[in-house]
Amino acid sequence: MKTSIVIKKGLSSDMRFDLKDGAGSDAVHTSPVYAYAVCRLVTDSNLEGVGLAFTLGSGNKIVCQAIEYLVRHVEGKEIYELMSDFGTIYKKMADDPNFRWLGPHKGVVQLALAAVVNACYDLWAKAEGVPLWKLLTSLTPEQLVNTLDFSYYEDILPKYEALDLIKKQQAGISSRESIIETGYPGYDTSIGWFNYSDEKIITNVKMAMDRGFTAMKLKVGSKNAAHDIRRAELVRRIAGDQATIMFDANQQWNLPQAIDICTKLKDLNPYWIEEPTHPDDVYAHIALAKAVDVPLALGEHVPNKVIFKNFIQSGCMTFNQVDAVRVGGVSEFILISLLSRKFNIPVVPHVGDMGQIHQHLVLFNHITLGHPALLLEYIPHLREHFKSPAIVKDGKYLTPMEPGMSADLLKHEYSL
Amino acid sequence: MKTSIVIKKGLSSDMRFDLKDGAGSDAVHTSPVYAYAVCRLVTDSNLEGVGLAFTLGSGNKIVCQAIEYLVRHVEGKEIYELMSDFGTIYKKMADDPNFRWLGPHKGVVQLALAAVVNACYDLWAKAEGVPLWKLLTSLTPEQLVNTLDFSYYEDILPKYEALDLIKKQQAGISSRESIIETGYPGYDTSIGWFNYSDEKIITNVKMAMDRGFTAMKLKVGSKNAAHDIRRAELVRRIAGDQATIMFDANQQWNLPQAIDICTKLKDLNPYWIEEPTHPDDVYAHIALAKAVDVPLALGEHVPNKVIFKNFIQSGCMTFNQVDAVRVGGVSEFILISLLSRKFNIPVVPHVGDMGQIHQHLVLFNHITLGHPALLLEYIPHLREHFKSPAIVKDGKYLTPMEPGMSADLLKHEYSL
C-alpha cells in the first residue's frame, strides 16, 4: 500500500541565467538569457515536484504567471490518483476556458502547461523513489496510455492502437535495456555558437573530439550564405570526414534562401540541417525537402501534438526534435514519440532542459517504445545550477539514478 | 505639412464583460466572459490611439502584461514616421528576443502584438481625422506595402508581387466604392448560441429576418450528432430554403466525428461549416474537404500569416476568417487578405472586436483589394460599451464616419 501524497500548493519561480562569452548565441538571439519558468508542487510530505519550461529572456515572467493560474487544477490532488488517469486532467488543463483563447495549445499557456505537467511527473517519480526513466519503463502499457490525452489523434493514433504499438515492442525490451549500462550517446551542441570566432570553433571541435564526442552541431542561419558555408567547411575540415556534423539555422532563412544554402551545405554531408525556416511552415519544409535531398531536423519550436502530427504526416521531417519543456510536458512528449514511432521517425530531442529531463526520456523512448538510441544534445552551460547535473563521459550520458527527473535547481530564486 | 504627433507612453487596460442569459456560449465556453486586452497610446496631442486584442476570461490579464512590455517599441516614435515604414517596426516587435521563444508569432505575445499594432493604426487614422477605411483606401500602393512585413512570404507573395496585385485592382475601385453608400451586408451570429433553447432559437431566427438579415449562424459542435442536426434542421425550417445558414462547431469534433456530422449537415445546404476540428490541423481539414463536399470556413484561431499561408496553399479553406484582433493586428490582416486575394479565397472575418474594426477592414478589402463584399459577422453583445457602436440597418453595416477604427470604449476600467 502506497503512502498518500497530496499536492498542497503550486508555486512558480522565474529563474534567469546569464551566459558568458557568446555561449547560446544563435541567428535570433545575440546575447541570450536562458530562463526557466519553474513550477514547484509543495506536498504534505517532504517531497516537492519540480517542473521546468524553458524560455529566453524577460518574457519568462509571463509564463510564471500562467503557471500560478493553471496549477489550481492539481492542487489538492493525491499524486498516485492524479497519475492513474492523467490524460483526463491533462485535457482539462489544456482546454481551461480562461486560457484556451490564448492558444489553443501554444505559446505562453502551453509553456505553463509544460511546467505543471513536468512537476507532476517529477513528484510521481520521487514518490516512487526512482528516476523518471525507471518509473516510465516500469509502467504497464495500460498505465502508460492512461497518462496521455489522445484528443485529435483519433484519426491517426487512437488509444487502442497506441496500446498495441507499445505491446508489440515488449519483446525487445530486455536487449534494449543494455543502454542503461552503456550510456546514451550525446552530441556536442556548443562547438560553434553564432558569435564564436573561427579560432574558438577550431578549439572547441578539437576539445569535443578529445572528450569522446563523434557528433557535433554548428549554428548557421546567417543572411550571408558564404559566411555560413565557410564556417561549415571549417568544422568539417577539423572534425574530419567520419564525424557526424549538424547545422542549425534557427528558422532564419525564407524558402528560397533555404533551398539555396541547403544545396550548398549538402556537399558537406551533414547528418541533418535543423530548423531551416519558419517552424509553422509545413509546406515550405515539404518544398525544401523536395528541392534538396538533405535530412531535416524539426520540432524545437513546434508547440503541440497537432502541428507535430501535421509535420509527421507531411513526410518532410527526418528527425523529430520534440522538447518536453516546450510542448505540454512529458505527457505530450510521450504521445508525440508514439506517433513518431509509428511513422519510423527517430526522436532526437531539443533540450531546453539542458538534457536533464531528456536523458530520462530518451532511455524510455528506446527501451519501451523501441526508438533507436541515436543521439542526445549535450549543452553544459547551466550545469552548475542543477542539484544533479547530467554526467557525460566519453561522449555518453551516464544513466541518472537519483529519484525524479533531475530538474531540481540549487536555488528557488535566481535573477540577473 | 502635417503636425508631428509623438507617442509618449503606452498603457494597457484589462477589460472584461459578462454576457447575459447564455449569450456567447459555444461548444468550448459555457459561461463566457468576453475580454479586451487594450493598448492605449498616449501622445503629446489630445489624440489617443486605442488598440484591441480579444480574449475570453481571466487569461486576458497576461496579454495586458505582454502589451506593457511590447509597447516600448513604439514609445517616443512620431506616428507618421512610424507608419511610413511600419513593416520594419512590425518585424522588430514580432521578433523581439525577449518574447520570441514564447511564440514565435502565436499565443499571448501575438495577441499583445495585435493590440499594439491596432493602436498605431487607430492613432494614424485619428491623426488624419478620417475613419480607418478612408485612410487605408487612400494610401498609394507603395505606402500600403510599406506597412506590411513580407518575411516568410518570399516564396508565395513577395513585396513586388503584392504591389502589382494592388495596382491591378485600381481599375475597379470607383465602381466598388458604391459600397460606402449601400452599406456592407451583415449576418446574425447570435440566433443560436450553444446554450439557447429551441424556443429562443425560433424567436431569434424570426427576429433576425424581421431586421433584414438573410444570413445567420448556428452554434453546433456537440458530441451528440443528433442534437446538432435537430437544431440545424430547426433553423433551416424556420428561416426557409432561401436563407443563408452557417454552422459553427468551434473545433469540437475530431476528424472521424467531423466527417460523420458534416456529411449529415451538408443536406441542409449550409453556406459554410466553421471550425470543424482543431485549428492547427491542416491535414485533417484537407481530409475532411476530400471526404465531404461542403464549404469550410477557417481562421478564427489561426494565429499568424504562416499558418494562414499553409491553409491557403492546402486548398481546403473555402472562406478565410482572419481576425485582426487575433493575428498581429491590421498590418498582418492586410497581408493575409492580400494572399487570400491572390488565391481567390474570400475574406469573411471573425469579429472578436464585435465588428467595430472589421467594418473598416472589409470596406478596404473590397474597395482596394477587390475582394467580393460578401458578409460581415454581426454580434451586438458589447455595443453599449463602445463610444461609437457599429450601426446595422436592414441587415447592413452603415459606413462608419468617425475618425479612427471605432475601437474606443466608454471606460478605461471595467471589470466584473
Instruction: Say which of B102, B152, B278 has its CB closest to residue A108.
Output: B102
Note if A366 is an active site residue. no
Domain count, chain B: 2
Question: Are the beta carbons of A102 and B109 separated by less than 8 Å?
Answer: no
Answer whether A280 sits within 8 Å of B105, measured CB to CB: yes
Looking up residue A242, the CATH number of its domain turns out to be 3.20.20.120
Instruction: Give the number of beta-carbon pairs within 8 Å between A and B.
Output: 168
Same domain for B100 and B188? no
B102 closest CB neighbour out of A62, A255, A282: A62
* Domain that residue A63 falls in: 7-129
Within-domain flag for A233:
yes
Would you state the pLDDT for residue B416?
52
**pLDDT score for A364:** 99
**The predicted structure's pLDDT at residue B2:** 85
Question: DSSP of B164-218, one letter per residue?
Answer: HHHHHTGGGHHHHTTHHHH-EEEEEEEEE-TT--HHHHHHHHHHHHHTT--EEEE
* pLDDT score recorded for residue B18: 85
User: Are B111 and B206 in the same domain?
Assistant: no
Residue of B17, B102, B314, B323 best to disrupt the A interface, most CBs of A under 10 A = B102
A228 phi and psi, to 5 degrees?
-60, -45
The active-site residue out of A350, A366, A371, A396 is A350
ipTM of the complex: 0.97
Residue A373 within a domain = yes
Task: Using alpha carbons, select from B155, B95, B45 the residue that is nearest to residue A252.
Answer: B95
Convert the pLDDT of each residue in A209-258 to its tens digit: 999 999 999 999 988 899 999 999 999 999 999 999 999 999 999 999 99
Chain B environment of A65 (Cβ under 8 Å)? 61-62, 65
Single out the residue in B76, B100, B129 at which a domain terminates: B129
Residue B121: give its domain's CATH number. 3.30.390.10
Catalytic residue among A73, A219, A309, A371: A219
Q: Are B353 and B53 in contact, with CB atoms under 8 Å apart? A: no
B59 and A99: CB-CB below 8 Å?
A: yes
> Which residues does chain B have with pLDDT short of 70?
1, 413-416
Residue B1 pLDDT: 66
**8 Å CB contact of A108 and B111:** no
Chain A interface test: which of B33, B101, B313 (most A C-beta within 10 Å)? B101
Neighbour-count burial of B142, counting CB atoms closer than 10 A to its CB (0-12 exposed, 13-18 middle, 19+ buried): exposed
- Judgement on whether residues A324 and A382 belong to the same structural domain of the protein: yes
- Inspect the interface and report whether the beta carbons of B255 and A155 lie closer than 8 Å: yes
Asked whether residue A271 falls in the same domain as residue A351, the answer is yes
Flag whether B398 is in a domain. Answer: yes
Inter-helix orientation angle A329-342/A159-168, to 10°: 70
Alpha-carbon span A388 to A18, nearest angstrom: 20
B89 and B184 inside one domain:
no
Q: What is the pLDDT of residue A126?
A: 98
Neighboring chain A residues of B301 at a CB cutoff of 8 Å: 104
Residues B232 and B341 in one domain: yes
Is residue B53 a part of any domain in this protein? Answer: yes
Low-confidence ranges of chain A (pLDDT < 50): none
Tell me how close the Cα of A63 comes to any Cα of chain B, in angstroms. Answer: 8
Is B11 contained in some domain? Answer: yes
CA-CA distance, A317 to A308, in Å (whole number)?
Answer: 9
Same domain, B77 and B19: yes
Looking at the structure, tell me whether residues A124 and A196 fall in a common domain.
Answer: no
- On whether the CB atoms of residues B155 and A286 are closer than 8 A, the answer is no
CA distance linking residue A206 with residue A235, whole number of Å: 10
- Residue A258 confidence (pLDDT): 97
Answer with the one of B129, B147, B164 that is the final residue of a domain. Answer: B129
pLDDT of residue A216: 97
A56:B28 CB<8 A: no
Inter-residue contact B269 to B290 (CB < 8 Å):
no
Residues of A in contact with B282 (CB under 8 A): 282, 310
In A284-343, the residues whose Cβ lies within 8 Å of chain B are 284, 287, 301, 303-304, 306-307, 309-310, 313-314
Check CB contact under 8 Å for A95 and B28. yes
Chain A positions touching B312 (Cβ under 8 A) are none
Domain end residue (candidates: B76, B103, B129): B129
| Other beta carbons less than 10 A from residue B397's beta carbon | 22
pLDDT of residue B32: 85
Q: Could A98 and B56 be called an inter-chain contact, meaning their C-beta atoms sit closer than 8 Å?
A: yes
Is B138 inside a domain boundary? no
What stretch of H or E contains B312?
Answer: helix B305-314
Q: Is residue B363 part of a domain?
A: yes
Buried residues in A317-351 as b, exposed as e (16+ CB within 10 A): bbbbbbbbbbbbbbbbbbbbbbbbbeeebbbbbbb
Same domain, B244 and B111: no
Q: Residue A200's pLDDT is what? A: 95
CB-CB neighbors (< 8 A) of B310 in chain A: 280-283
Check whether residue B85 and residue B179 sit in a common domain.
no
Q: Which of B69, B281, B287 sits opposite A58 (nearest CB)?
A: B69
Pick from A258, A257, A256: nearest CA to A274: A258
Same domain membership, residue B207 and residue B121: no
Does a structural domain hold residue A47? yes
> B98 with B223, same domain?
no
Q: Please judge whether B152 and A284 are an interchain contact, meaning their C-beta atoms are less than 8 angstroms apart.
A: yes
